[in-house]
Chains A and B, each alone.
Chain A
Amino acid sequence: MDIWYKENIDLKTIAPVTLLLLLGIASVYSATYDAGASIFFNRQLIWAGSGFFLMIVIMLLPFRTLQFLSYPFYGISILLLIVVLFGGKMVAGSRSWFGIGGFGLQPSEIVKVTTVLALASYLSRGQVNLQRFKHLATALGFVLFPVALITLQPDIGTAIIYLGMLFIVLFWAGASNFLMITLLAPAAAAIATLFGTTAFFIVVILTLVVLFVLRENRLFSATIFSFTVLVGVSVQFIFDKLAPHQQNRITTFLNPDADPLGAGYNVIQSKIAIGSGGFFGKGFLQGSQTQLNFLPAQWTDFIYCVPAEEFGFIGAFAILLFLTLFLIRGVQIASIVKNRYASLVAIGIVATFATHTVINIGMSMGMMPVIGVPLPFLSYGGSNLMTNMIMAGLLLNMYANRKEY
């Protein structure tokens, strides 16, 4: 028993997950404190408890069965995603929820896992070669289909997570540098254009340099380069055609300081919360920003401010450190497993957690546009926490089966 335990349970994954869960529960308790524990806290506690149990169950599932069920899981979850578009509840302008009893289910969260599973399953097939257009298109299709459905809800934040995950998994799966630049350059050009002409030219020059270094087929290279420039120019063209208030929305999205009462308000208050926490913090339940509700719904997307204000740099750094350790451990697991499917699943999970983390903490500290995505293990929300625990369970499962081919 002792040996099995040592062999199969990865404490390097479980430890940061558990610590993050505890910090998350404390943060939700503080953020929603109302002369005692709130209904948010009680629910989060139930989800964390059952989520932990679910993580262990997933860890113990037979590995082959999991691989076998990847496509069926994907199919069912995509079906839910379609149904929610028609029968879902409207919450904060998005149709992304099912109401079941008092609880809500958000299919786009579950689909995060099933998409990783399906994509890994496809890419791990021996004959799949990303250099072939048909195979590449299929791989892209696995992700772009749910992205399209989620964009219809509309939930841009979640859609961005999927695209980040896709990109990282393709890289891990052995996509050539040339393929990566083909996918990355036009997207980078589009975003850079919105930041200004200088940014656009930097991207264009970088693309040119990379293409030159890669020394691929000249015709392909020229096509990709022209396409990149074209995307940048057309984005600028479309931007100029937009009404001033639409341009404004994009500008404040990229630079929240430009709108201190709208989108910028959250970022300003968030920075004040984090900064005023200082080194040691104001103390549990003593954060004035948190307790006076300067941030709307800070128990979800802006949860990072709560420990940062009340536990100061110590608390904020601890969360950053635990998340980093967890991600590094994920990459290690992806590297040591013998099975290609397991490796791709692990890297897909790492990619999903990493994009959430970067976007969420970057946003809270005013380094990123305000994109509503939760912080893994900390933000309030059942569907998201359960999905996170399932993904942690999958990592543990891959680790336990690391010697299987």
Chain B
Amino acid sequence: MAEFAESSTRKIVFYTAIGIVFFVFLARLIQLQVLYADVYGKKSEENSIRQIARTPIRGLMFDLNGTLIVDNGPAYSITITPAEFRMSGLTLLSNILRTDTQIIKEKFEKGIRYNRFTPTKIKRDIDFKTLSLIEENKDRLPGVDYQIESKRFYPTKSKATHLYGYTKEISDQQLLEMGNEYRPGDNIGATGLEAAYERYLRGQKGFELITVNALGQIMGDYNEGKNNIPVREGSDLFLSLDAKLQALAESLLSDKRGAVVALDPNNGGLLALVSKPDYDLTTFGTVTPLDAWKELNTDESKPLFNRATLTRYPPGSTFKMVLAAAALEEGVINQNWRVNCTGAFRFGNKVFSDLHIHGSTNVVEAIQKSCNVFFYQLMLKTGFERWTRYGREFGFGNPTGLDILEENPGLLPSEEYYDRIYGKGKWTQGYLISLGIGQGEVGVSPLQMAGYAAAIANRGYYHTPHAVLRIRDKESGKLQIVPTETRKLDISPWVWDVLQEGMYRCVNEIGGTGQASKVKSVSVCGKTGTAQNPHGKKDHAWFIGFAPRENPKIAICVLIENVGFGGAFAAPIAGLCIEQYIYGKLIRNVQQNVLTAAQSDQAQTQQREH
């Protein structure tokens, strides 16, 4: 054992090393526990101060007439306080809540890790029957209690699913982005106005600082409550929506796919916004049930899709006023310029058809009867650049700026666009001809169409559509007016006269394609459209219009998918909506009969148009 001779030096190395570590640790212990004991003692006291968040009540929504349309109601959540809960009650609790014992156990264990004296939510938004069962069995369920939270409900028939939107529990990602304003489990606006006005509706969280003893039990207010932050309730929204009009429009579209958007031409206020099919917002009252979400998300009729603002269909003949305005204002033609419609238009080796032989037609008659041949020729005469420029003036190709966040800008083709898509010189004038009657690449949303109708109605003012007029602060009661934007279109008064005359005749005179939208003693102006559907199904029916002509109060767009002609399917719905809004009620007899009669009448007389 030669090396062992050295072992005494090695031994000394070991003792020295152990000694050094011992004294270093001892010094650190003295530093922490003797020298800085006060500092750490204070920190540990601060640790025993708990912050309790008080969630504000979310702001309400009122319609144009002050009717409450989005309200809050109580939602009950079952909680368990881990320190008091006994596992013997687990099976009973699981049966009452119809929740797996494993899930309850997991939440219980999570609760223990957080604080076993703080109630932990184990199921949110239970029904009243379940709550009663919990109350009845209270003796057998120690530590089980309930908390009241608020959830949305909608007291009127106006459900406006895609406008109101819903709130959902904040995601981890959002929590990271939002910083301190939210806590896990908080709800945040996800779609529609709930999302767009989140910062007003939400209010501001209150915080109460309380002291807890070493066992985590609450001892009282910290510093006599001087450091508490009081809760600020959410602000209320006053909408320009007319709940009755909205409800009627929803009922008229109940078995259809489509959208209705109505605007006040005087200020751009949104009077109605319907997208069908829709879904029940109360499903999303507190937490989104996963299965319900999946069902909606995979539904082939896309109920989650906001057809009023996200649709991008060709507008069909409803777009003809854009071309007419461009041609008249730019002096390409005057109102007496005439085209002889022979029912078809030949360009190169291609034939563009019309459904009728309209004979000699001027611009007013062309709008009234929706003559395609007139507009084919007018498009070639006016040119692409002007058409695009006026389309942009009317708000196409850009989002309108409506105060909900989901909007499709649509597509307004231009020379540059075609150069990019097809290559310079690789497209011909023939491509334009379809655009002249609103077919082809051009894509618009019902919201854009309503804005366009409103600008014609008020003779040249494009008001940015908006749903919310005023915001009321709950604390001060002060009303804040939501600022709006208005843009003046550079088009002469006589041009508006021509367009309005054509649209008036379209509804009110023999040969007009929009007669189904006629309303008793109201001068309705309108234009029908039928968007060709390249997917083989039936065409999409469009109608845009406004009323009354002299003093416009409502501008409207109706889109019904896959039904056929705009004059037969969209116009009658627009007529009923206008009647409802102007008279405050329907003055016709039974609405359903009127509607179906109008449709069959149209179909029988073969009143066809584009």
A275, A335, A343 — most chain B CB neighbours (10 Å):
A275
- Residues of A229-282 contacting chain B, CB below 8 A: 269, 271-279, 282
A294 with B25: CB separation less than 8 A:
no
On whether A324 and B10 interact (CB within 8 A), knowing A316-B29, A317-B26, A365-B29, the answer reads no
B44 with A289: CB separation less than 8 A:
yes
Q: Interface size on B (CB < 8 Å)?
A: 42
Contacts of A316 in B (CB 8 A): 29, 33
- Residues of A90-117 contacting chain B, CB below 8 A: none
Contacts of A173 in B (CB 8 A): 3
* Bound: A276/B42 CA distance, A: 8
Partner of B28, one of A35, A171, A367: A367
- Residues of A281-305 contacting chain B, CB below 8 A: 282, 286-289, 291-294, 296
A272 with B43: CB separation less than 8 A:
yes
Q: Which residue of B lies closest to A285 (CB)?
A: B214
Partner of B44, one of A272, A279, A328: A272
Partner of B33, one of A269, A278, A331, A335: A278
Contacts of A279 in B (CB 8 A): 33-34, 37
Question: Shortest distance in angstroms between B207's beta carbon and chain A's nearest beta carbon?
Answer: 19
Q: Is B178 an interface residue (CB 8 A)?
A: no
On whether A278 and B41 interact (CB within 8 A), knowing A288-B48, A291-B214, the answer reads yes
B1 with A340: CB separation less than 8 A:
yes
* Bound: A335/B6 CA distance, A: 11
Q: Count A-B contacts at CB 8 Å.
A: 114
Q: Is A87 an interface residue (CB 8 A)?
A: no
* Bound: A343/B8 CA distance, A: 13
B214 with A365: CB separation less than 8 A:
no
Q: Is A174 an interface residue (CB 8 A)?
A: yes
* Bound: A317/B285 CA distance, A: 57
Contacts of A274 in B (CB 8 A): 29, 32-33, 40
Partner of B40, one of A272, A313, A324, A358: A272
Q: Is B14 an interface residue (CB 8 A)?
A: yes
Q: Interface size on A (CB < 8 Å)?
A: 46
Question: Shortest distance in angstroms between A333's beta carbon and chain B's nearest beta carbon?
Answer: 11
Q: Is B229 an interface residue (CB 8 A)?
A: no
On whether A317 and B29 interact (CB within 8 A), knowing A286-B214, A292-B47, A293-B113, the answer reads yes
Stretch at the interface among B15-23, B120-128, B156-164, B318-326: B15-23
* Bound: A316/B170 CA distance, A: 44
Q: Is B83 an interface residue (CB 8 A)?
A: yes
Question: Shortest distance in angstroms between B105's beta carbon and chain A's nearest beta carbon?
Answer: 14
Q: Is A37 an interface residue (CB 8 A)?
A: no
Q: Which residue of A lies closest to B42 (CB)?
A: A276
B7 with A335: CB separation less than 8 A:
yes
B47 with A361: CB separation less than 8 A:
no
A320 with B26: CB separation less than 8 A:
yes
B83 with A35: CB separation less than 8 A:
yes
Contacts of B32 in A (CB 8 A): 271, 274-275, 365
A312 with B47: CB separation less than 8 A:
no
Q: Which residue of A lies closest to B13 (CB)?
A: A171
Q: Is B414 an interface residue (CB 8 A)?
A: no
Q: Is B39 an interface residue (CB 8 A)?
A: yes
Question: Shortest distance in angstroms between A395's beta carbon and chain B's nearest beta carbon?
Answer: 15
Q: Which residue of B lies closest to A321 (CB)?
A: B22
Q: Is B337 an interface residue (CB 8 A)?
A: no
A174 with B29: CB separation less than 8 A:
no
Q: Is B11 an interface residue (CB 8 A)?
A: yes
Question: Shortest distance in angstroms between A324's beta carbon and chain B's nearest beta carbon?
Answer: 5
Question: Shortest distance in angstroms between B120's beta carbon and chain A's nearest beta carbon?
Answer: 14
B8, B33, B48, B83 — most chain A CB neighbours (10 Å):
B33
Question: Shortest distance in angstroms between B532's beta carbon and chain A's nearest beta carbon?
Answer: 52
* Bound: A82/B18 CA distance, A: 35
B216 with A276: CB separation less than 8 A:
no
Question: Shortest distance in angstroms between A311's beta carbon and chain B's nearest beta carbon?
Answer: 10
Could you list which residues of chain A lie within 8 angstroms of chain B, going by C-beta atoms? 34-35, 171-174, 269, 271-279, 282, 286-289, 291-294, 296, 308, 312-313, 316-317, 320, 324, 327-328, 331, 335, 340, 343, 350, 354, 358, 361-362, 365, 367
Known pairs A277-B33, A278-B37, A292-B47; list 10 more (Cβ under 8 Å).
Answer: A34-B83, A34-B112, A272-B43, A272-B47, A274-B29, A292-B214, A296-B113, A327-B18, A335-B7, A340-B4
Could you list which residues of chain B lie within 8 angstroms of chain A, going by C-beta atoms? 1, 3-4, 6-8, 10-11, 13-15, 18, 21-22, 24-26, 28-30, 32-34, 36-37, 39-41, 43-45, 47-48, 83, 112-113, 115-116, 212, 214-216
A/B interface sample: 12 pairs, CB < 8 A: A274-B29, A275-B41, A282-B214, A288-B47, A292-B216, A293-B115, A308-B29, A317-B26, A320-B25, A324-B22, A340-B4, A343-B7
